[in-house]
Homo-oligomer: A and B are copies of this chain.
């Protein structure tokens, strides 16, 4: 099954719950966050200078300055004392509240102080110049942060400015991670007995789950034993929002996972048109996506990036995912591919040239040493040296 088809076959029924939370980087608003007041609430100076009536300044120039009486100074953080009458001005700092009667601010750079208590304007201002108007940033009902877009740093600033210290957000989805295989032992195992392999999949998948905005739940290592696997996966499906199982590398181990998945839900896809990653299993367990990954860690990570991360984002309520870092590069050599299959190729990129890194899919090295990866689409039978590819960077 092609990757796009497999993804569209899924409509995860269960979403992570909506919770009330403080704004923070990556928090996903469950609804548009709306402003409740005018921002700013009052007209403010955007420059240091003098608050004036613009009409008093029209004729002002360097050769014929306008002379105004200075009746006071605006203090930061306070309401101005007094008002601006025709022929008068008040000193005002950037951010200061515009006094009643004033409609503009003349920058201090265009003024001189011929004597205490008066100011000469060397330039005229139009009404509104040097002033931030009430509501110019936002007004009641304006959307400050859209639903489904993880909060960014600037959003945090705008929400704070509007006094929004909590919002309705999607809880980070729980992603259960199960490792299977009689040969798999925990990474803490100091000395391996012959045939044992430390669990590389679970820690790496946990990293990708976090990248996608989920919370990994490590559910341990299960031997190749159907009852035990069904018990652990059943518990994961009951408690988690997405479940991932590294389904073993041998045909026997994979068949076991397929059997258990078929008992827990509806198998949507068994065999994905992607290399590496063909032995991928997708099942819908009452709306909870169950993803059976190939046993080779590298294949598992490739498939989880293609299929798992988009599913985690969907369940997380993310409709506007953060942008990914990509670089356009020319291929250093021919890369063959079979038609009808998406090929994922690891690559290093130096000076705009992408060099593919090959090696057994049982090795993590080609991925660890790569700068990123690119795809050869299903329709293509390979790319020639010099072809332009978009490498998605790690």
Contacts and interface: CB of A to CB of B under 8 A. Distances in A.
Contact of A95 (B183, B190, B193): B183
Interface stretch (A4-12, A261-269, A319-327, A334-342): A319-327
Contacts of A165: 187-188
A8 to B, nearest CB: 24
A42 B250 contact: no
Q: How large is the interface on A (under 10, 10 to 19, 20 to 34, 35 or more residues)?
A: 35 or more
A157 B204 contact: yes
Interface in A47-100: 48, 75-79, 93-97
B295 A364 contact: no
A190 B163 contact: yes
Name the residue in A23, A183, A328 with the highest tally of chain B Cβ atoms < 10 Å from its Cβ: A183
A48 B251 contact: yes
Given A163-B187, A325-B323, A132 B363 contact: yes
A253 interface: yes
Contacts of A163: 187-190, 192, 198
Contact of A156 (B138, B194, B206): B206
A153 interface: yes
A105 to B, nearest CB: 12
The complex is assembled from copies of this chain, and their number is 2
Contact of A76 (B93, B183, B360, B367): B183
A172 to B, nearest CB: 14
Contact of A96 (B199, B205, B250, B371): B250
Interface string A149-193: 001111111111111110000000000000001111001111011
A252 interface: yes
Contacts of A368: 144-145, 152, 154-155, 157-158
B94 A200 contact: no
A210 interface: yes
Nearest to A223: B77
Contact of A250 (B93, B205, B301): B93
Given A44-B362, A163-B192, 13 more contacts: A24-B207, A41-B194, A75-B195, A77-B184, A93-B250, A93-B253, A138-B365, A153-B207, A154-B368, A156-B207, A160-B200, A161-B187, A165-B188
